[in-house]
């Protein structure tokens, strides 16, 4: 949708948490707190509140105070497809210029290392694409990008835990072509 206030990630969260009540897909109010939505989608409570209110405003959600549930609606009589939250998160995190940037960076490191394994850290990769390096909260973005690149057959890597709270990424292979 063109509306900047619409957040498909929040709607996907509702889809994943919804249950069929025999007539509609619903999410209990107690499940859909703004704090919970924010924590599980990687945003703050205020943003979650804003996006839920926008979903209500445009008609993708309805409040049913009698049953204390949010009711998921569809637009233009089309069926809403249920997309698992993790799938949507990976797509959002990885299908962007950051993925290309990291792929090219890893390919150059691999070639510069004589096409042999090398170690890279989350901090190094986050710095490469402009993410904060002082927190681990956005490591999931790096993990998602690496996972998608692996699934595409462009990289192979292993995780190596070096300390309780520190993991290195051992890149074992990088290819510049998609497998057939």
Q: Tell me if 1 is assigned to some domain.
A: no
Q: Same domain for 102 and 151?
A: yes
By CB atoms closer than 10 A (0-12, 13-18, 19+), residue 19 is: exposed
CB 54 within 8 A of CB 3: yes
Q: In what order do the strands lie in the sheet with 19-20?
A: 19-20, 25-28, 69-72, 61-64
- What pLDDT shows up at residue 136? 83
Residue that terminates a domain, selected from 83, 116, 132: 83
Q: What percent of the chain has pLDDT over 90?
A: 41
Rg (CA), the chain: 20
- What pLDDT shows up at residue 70? 95
Q: How many domains does the chain have?
A: 2
Q: Give the pairing of strands 166-174 and 118-121.
A: antiparallel
Look up the domain containing 49 and give its range: 8-83
Q: What percent of the chain has pLDDT over 70?
A: 86
Region 129-143: mean pLDDT is 88
Confidence of residue 173 (pLDDT cuts 50, 70, 90): very high
pLDDT in tens, 14-23: 888 888 888 8
**Which of 93, 85, 69, 82 is CA-nearest to residue 143?**
93
Q: Same domain for 63 and 110?
A: no
Confidence of residue 84 (pLDDT cuts 50, 70, 90): low
Give the single-character DSSP code of 115: S
Integer Cα distance of 93 and 125 in angstroms: 14
Region 41-62: mean pLDDT is 89
pLDDT in tens, 138-157: 888 999 999 999 998 999 99
Please tell me which residue, 78 or 91, carries the higher pLDDT value: 91
The yes-or-no verdict on residue 33 having pLDDT over 50 is yes
Q: Same domain for 120 and 148?
A: yes
In 10 A of CB 99, how many CB atoms?
20
Residue that terminates a domain, selected from 83, 102, 119: 83
Q: Same domain for 73 and 146?
A: no
């Amino acid at each position: 949708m063109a509306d900047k206030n619409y957040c498909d990630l929040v709607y996907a969260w509702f889809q994943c948490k919804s249950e069929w009540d025999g007539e509609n897909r619903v999410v209990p109010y107690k499940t859909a707190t703004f704090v919970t939505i924010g924590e599980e989608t990687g945003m703050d409570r205020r943003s979650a509140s804003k996006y839920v209110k926008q979903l209500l405003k445009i008609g993708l959600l309805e409040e049913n105070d009698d049953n204390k549930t949010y009711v998921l609606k569809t637009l233009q009589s089309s069926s809403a497809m249920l997309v698992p939250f993790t799938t949507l998160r990976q797509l959002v995190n990885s299908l962007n210029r950051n993925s290309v940037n990291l792929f090219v960076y890893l390919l150059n490191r691999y070639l510069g290392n004589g096409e042999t394994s090398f170690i890279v850290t989350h901090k190094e990769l986050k710095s490469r694409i402009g993410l904060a390096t002082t927190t681990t909260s956005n490591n999931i973005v790096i993990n998602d990008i690496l996972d998608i690149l692996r699934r595409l057959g462009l990289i192979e890597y292993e995780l190596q835990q070096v300390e309780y709270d520190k993991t290195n990424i051992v890149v074992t292979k990088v290819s510049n072509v998609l497998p057939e």
